């Protein structure tokens, strides 16, 4: 019998088309693998076994009848537990939403369901997407499949770990300041944050509404392109969704990088970077040059201020968005209260974890009377300067290449200082502030066997160029073929 797991999304789809495997066979194989390996990896919060098998059987019937729902019909995916799924609990890895079951699907789930995708389950994350290690989950930390003593990155660490460990063929995450790209780098997968507005946020539980964006994880670039194709496009249910044409991303993969102008930001190669990361990224840039890309240095002078601006804007928006969790309409409610005020206070104190409370307090302070203009208003002006830096750079180049993160995956409980954790996102945060598309893909390994990520950054709504450059690089290198050895 042919292998049922260990395949990319295009390879699974090809097996279905040739009749070498059925969706039920593949989904059953993934469920067995989850049962065997996830107890030590802890990528999943909820495994939807029964509904996955039912969806697989429906895909069987469509494929047998010659009427597949599309190229993703029967493909098993892992979904970050911040994306609403009708009838399946959506916890955001928080005690306050531990039993919350949405009455509706997020728009991306509606689109994937129409495409025939099989959801294997909901994946662990940093609580309300606030973190860079998936250690802030209220339930348990997720471990990196390359080294179980290390973090998978965050906040979409569960989805990244599930794809890397072959507990799903692909997955969805969300990215507010690097939460798809950084775990993709730490786990050795492809992770894509689309342009803000390219993918609907309807049904994404909000952290910072002007920064959040849903995107795919996959084992290779073509798989990421196929997932983006399914979820991209205008959605009238999301007022921030942009009505611009969605190109054929798979067709774009055939475009050569010859003649493409690739900018190297001076500010993204800094003192204190892991030397192995820096070396691997420079070697990757030389590979792109060897493929015909034109390499030139560019400057993004306001990069130094991006981190500070982000940690005012994102907590301020989180403070507003998370005000709804008060124990009244849904979610956890602290028992035994004498009045409404006590119930509010105790519910939020008991329901939120330390990092979420830290950011709510930071954001509330930044928005408070007398401080709004000094903090939040000034941060928004800095955001404009960051965006202008990118605009000026893109007048000279087609895309940017740089490290995804300054280090590889660190040990569990290694970064107890919040500031040290925040610095993990120093190369990803500016992309969110500017609303640009960014992609991370493997570009090497340390001597200790940990993956290193190359980040490509594109012009607004030009995911095609990112995907084509990433695909050209992927075909010229072996890194995407390496997989972790899990017993």
Q: Which residues are catalytic?
A: 80, 155, 179
The secondary structure of residue 336, as a DSSP letter, is: S
Sequence-ordered strand ranges (E) for 42-154 = 44-47, 76-80, 118-123
The secondary structure of residue 257, as a DSSP letter, is: -
Name the maximum alpha-carbon separation found in the chain: 71
Separation in Å, CA 274 to CA 83, 153, 433, 480: 33, 16, 25, 21
Pair type for strands 438-445 and 294-298? unpaired
Tallying the residues shown for the chain, one arrives at 487
* Rounded Cα gap, residues 246 and 228, in angstroms: 10
Pinpoint the alpha helices (H) of 322-377: 340-351, 354-367
Residue whose token pair is 């102008």: 261
Q: Distance between alpha carbon 234 and the CA centroid of its chain, in Å?
A: 20
Q: Are 360 and 377 in contact (CB under 8 A)?
A: no
* Rounded Cα gap, residues 206 and 211, in angstroms: 10
* Rounded Cα gap, residues 213 and 198, in angstroms: 8
- Tokens standing for residue 419: 């500031």
What strand order describes the sheet that includes 451-458?
44-47, 118-123, 76-80, 170-174, 214-218, 190-193, 438-445, 451-458, 399-403, 261-265, 294-298
* Rounded Cα gap, residues 434 and 285, in angstroms: 23
Rg of the chain (C-alpha set): 21
């Amino acid at each position: 019998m042919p292998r049922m797991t260990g395949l990319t999304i295009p390879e699974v789809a090809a097996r279905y088309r040739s009749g070498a495997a059925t969706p039920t066979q593949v989904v059953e194989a993934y469920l067995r693998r989850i049962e065997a390996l996830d107890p030590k990896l802890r990528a999943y919060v909820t495994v939807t076994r029964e509904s996955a098998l039912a969806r697989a059987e429906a895909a069987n019937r469509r494929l047998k009848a010659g009427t597949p729902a599309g190229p993703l019909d029967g493909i098993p995916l892992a979904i970050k537990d911040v994306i609403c799924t009708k009838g399946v609990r959506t916890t955001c890895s928080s005690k306050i939403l531990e039993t919350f079951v949405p009455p509706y699907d997020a728009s991306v789930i509606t689109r994937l369901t129409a495409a025939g995708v099989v959801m294997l389950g909901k994946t662990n994350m940093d609580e309300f997407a606030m973190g860079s290690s998936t250690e802030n989950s209220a339930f348990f930390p997720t471990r990196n499949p390359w080294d179980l003593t290390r973090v998978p990155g965050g906040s979409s660490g569960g989805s990244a770990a599930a794809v890397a460990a072959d507990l799903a063929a692909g997955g969805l995450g969300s990215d507010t300041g690097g939460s798809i790209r950084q775990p993709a780098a730490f786990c050795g997968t492809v992770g894509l944050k689309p342009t803000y507005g390219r993918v609907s946020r309807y049904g994404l539980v909000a952290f910072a509404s002007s920064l959040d964006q849903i995107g795919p994880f996959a084992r290779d670039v073509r798989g990421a392109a196929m997932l983006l194709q399914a979820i991209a496009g205008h959605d009238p249910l999301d007022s921030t969704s942009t009505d611009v044409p969605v190109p054929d991303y798979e067709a774009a993969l055939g475009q050569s990088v010859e003649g493409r102008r690739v900018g190297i930001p001076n500010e993204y190669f800094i003192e204190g970077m892991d030397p192995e990361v820096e070396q691997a990224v420079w070697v990757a840039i030389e590979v792109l040059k060897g493929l015909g890309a034109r390499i030139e240095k560019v400057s993004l002078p306001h990069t130094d201020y991006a981190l500070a601006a982000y940690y005012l804007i994102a907590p301020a928006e989180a403070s507003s968005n998370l005000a709804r969790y008060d124990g009244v309409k849904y979610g956890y409610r602290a028992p035994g209260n004498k009045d409404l005020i006590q119930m509010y206070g105790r519910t939020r104190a008991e329901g939120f974890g330390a990092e979420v409370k830290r950011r709510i307090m930071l954001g509330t302070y930044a928005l408070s009377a007398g401080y709004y203009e000094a903090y939040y208003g000034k941060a928004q002006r800095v955001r404009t300067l960051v965006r202008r830096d990118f605009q000026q750079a893109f007048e000279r180049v087609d895309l940017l290449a740089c490290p995804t993160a300054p280090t590889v995956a660190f040990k569990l409980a290694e970064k107890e200082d919040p500031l040290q954790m925040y610095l993990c996102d120093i190369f990803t945060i500016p992309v969110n502030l500017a609303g640009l598309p960014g992609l991370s893909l493997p570009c090497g390994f340390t001597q200790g066997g940990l993956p290193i990520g190359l980040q490509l950054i594109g012009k607004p709504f030009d995911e095609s160029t990112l995907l084509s450059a990433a695909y050209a690089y992927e075909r010229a290198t072996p890194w995407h073929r390496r997989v972790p050895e899990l017993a």
